[in-house]
């Protein structure tokens, strides 16, 4: 239980309704679908009750054999009303074509964004 919560016994004999803010994520998205190598992208998370702390986003890249591997860990800053978090990331020039990012919620669920693709120059 978090340190800032205080529990008290209920002895009023009255009915009550307890409202607890619950993290709800509606959307994980890139600001565009296609990028060039070295482009800067904005990653955003939209929802409700995202909390005051930055959200940790894990960027992954598609490897040669079709598996996803680690590319970067970013901290997305949450706005004042807790409905949007965002951060910027620059795509590498290493020839990787596809990227996605993930968010792990406090209850353990892993949410995944759509794929952002790099347009590589034609050889």
Q: CATH number of the domain at 113, please.
A: 2.60.40.1930
Indicate whether 33 belongs to any domain.
yes
Indicate whether 94 belongs to any domain.
yes
Q: Does 9 score more than 70 pLDDT?
A: no
What is the number of structural domains in the chain? 1
Q: How far apart are alpha carbons 24 and 56 in whole angstroms?
A: 15
State if pTM tops 0.95. Answer: no
Q: Does 14 score more than 90 pLDDT?
A: no
Q: Say what the pLDDT of residue 123 is.
A: 59
Q: Which domain holds residue 83?
A: 24-118
Adjacent-strand bridge partners of 100: 60
Q: Say what the pLDDT of residue 94 is.
A: 86
Residues in contact with 73: Cβ distance below 8 Å, sequence separation at least 6, in sequence order: 56, 57, 58, 59
Number of CB atoms found within 10 A of residue 48's CB: 13
At 16-60, the pLDDT tens digits run 777 777 788 999 999 998 999 999 999 999 999 888 899 999 999
Torsion of CA 76, 81, 84, 87, to 10 degrees: -30
Indicate whether 52 belongs to any domain.
yes
Indicate whether 111 belongs to any domain.
yes
């Amino acid at each position: 239980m978090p340190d800032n919560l205080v529990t008290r016994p209920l002895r009023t004999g009255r009915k009550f309704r307890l409202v607890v803010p619950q993290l709800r994520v509606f959307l994980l998205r890139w600001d565009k679908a296609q990028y060039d190598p070295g482009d800067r992208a904005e990653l955003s998370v939209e929802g409700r009750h995202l909390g005051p702390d930055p959200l940790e986003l894990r960027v992954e890249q598609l490897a040669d054999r079709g598996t996803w591997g680690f590319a970067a860990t970013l901290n997305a800053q949450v706005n004042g009303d807790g409905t949007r978090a965002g951060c910027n990331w620059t795509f590498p020039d290493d020839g990787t074509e596809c990227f996605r990012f993930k968010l792990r919620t406090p209850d353990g669920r892993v949410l995944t964004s759509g794929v952002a693709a790099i347009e590589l120059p034609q050889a």
